Structure 1
Amino acid sequence: MTADAPSAPLMRANPIARLTEALFGWLPMSLAMLALRFALAVPFWKSGMTKWDGFLTLSFGAQQLFVDEFKLHLFGGEYAFPFPETMATLSALGETILPVLLVFGFATRYAALGILAMTAIIQLTVPDGWANFHLPWAAMALSIMTFGPGRIALDRVLGLERGRG
């Protein structure tokens, strides 16, 4: 029993706890974690696919976003990205590789950490997106980092993860 789990006698005595367990206890954590991994992967994958003109050929538009459009919003000012072409390439690679790792559940916690770092940079680039996009992405990434991929994951099959669910 974990420190967060209620004791068995408390569960038997509390009708609300019994009802909650009856309604939701059948849901496997692995299914929830799989859905969470997909939900976090989709927007990054879609964005990443717009940045390529072919295999390892970064689109001109993606490069120009980092050269002309995207600015870091720091301490009340707007600053150009350092090494914009490198940042565009790293962004495109992260937006295509990390979602694949999440979906397959391989190096899952590290992929979620990478997505969290990208979300922080995106927040500094587009500060108005925090409530609708960045906060949910960060919460999903933190949940995956905390609870792991679940049983439906290559990490579990390969013995790289012994997490719950």
Structure 2
Amino acid sequence: MIALLSRLDSLPARIPHELLALLARLSVGTIFLRSGLLKLDGWADGTTLTLFREEYRLPLLPPEFASYLATAAELSLPLLLFLGLFTRPAALALLGMTLVIEIFVYPNAFDTHGVWAVALLYLAKFGPGQFALDRLLFARAIPNAYGRA
């Protein structure tokens, strides 16, 4: 029985970082991109601005500025994750956005935001994996962070 448990315990160690990083990039990127596309659709009928004025109510930022900033971030940063380009800064920016959403907008949604945060922290710590433009562009300049090209 202990041998079986030991075998089962060693299985996750065989999951390659490249697979985990790619899955994290695609899944969390898709969440934010879909949100950005919804915001983009909402510009025509005013729902995006109404959400920022009446529901989100971020402190310190005017709703107009916050709505443009969030839409731009949700449309651009996921594309960087998908490409694996500037992955760590993109992940940290989306993590910051996640924290703002958790603290100021939907404070009772930690279960959802926690999952996003884990994926983004994983990418920030371990990088985008082998299947990323970061590795192609920066492996020689920062070999410890991206491996050798």
TM-score band (shorter)?
0.7 to 0.9
Count of paired positions: 140
For the Cα contact (< 8 Å) 2:57–2:63, is it kept in 1? no
Unaligned runs of 5+ in 2: none
Please show how residues 1-165 of structure 1 align to structure 2 within 5 Å: 20-21=9-10, 23-53=11-41, 58-59=43-44, 60-72=46-58, 82-123=61-102, 124-131=104-111, 133-159=112-138, 162=143, 163=145
Quick one: structure 1 residues 19 and 47, their matched pair in 2 at CA, closer, same or farther if it must change by over 3 Å? closer
Quick one: structure 1 residues 82 and 24, their matched pair in 2 at CA, closer, same or farther if it must change by over 3 Å? closer
Quick one: structure 1 residues 126 and 26, their matched pair in 2 at CA, closer, same or farther if it must change by over 3 Å? closer
Normalised by the length of structure 1, the TM-score is 0.74
| Percent identity between the two aligned chains | 35
Choose between structure 1 and 2: higher strand proportion: 1
For the Cα contact (< 8 Å) 1:58–1:89, is it kept in 2? no
Normalised by the length of structure 2, the TM-score is 0.81
Quick one: structure 1 residues 39 and 65, their matched pair in 2 at CA, closer, same or farther if it must change by over 3 Å? same
Aligned equivalents of 1:106 and 1:127: distance in 2?
Answer: 31
The one-letter code sitting in structure 2 at the alignment partner of 1:40 is: V
Choose 1 or 2 for highest CA Rg: 1
For the Cα contact (< 8 Å) 1:31–1:152, is it kept in 2? no
Aligned equivalents of 1:62 and 1:24: distance in 2?
Answer: 42
For 1:3-39, what per-residue CA distance to the aligned partner results, in whole angstroms no more than 9, with x for missing partners?
xxxxxxxxxxxx6666654x34543211111011111
Aligned equivalents of 2:146 and 2:135: distance in 1?
Answer: 10
Unaligned runs of 5+ in 1: 1-14, 73-78
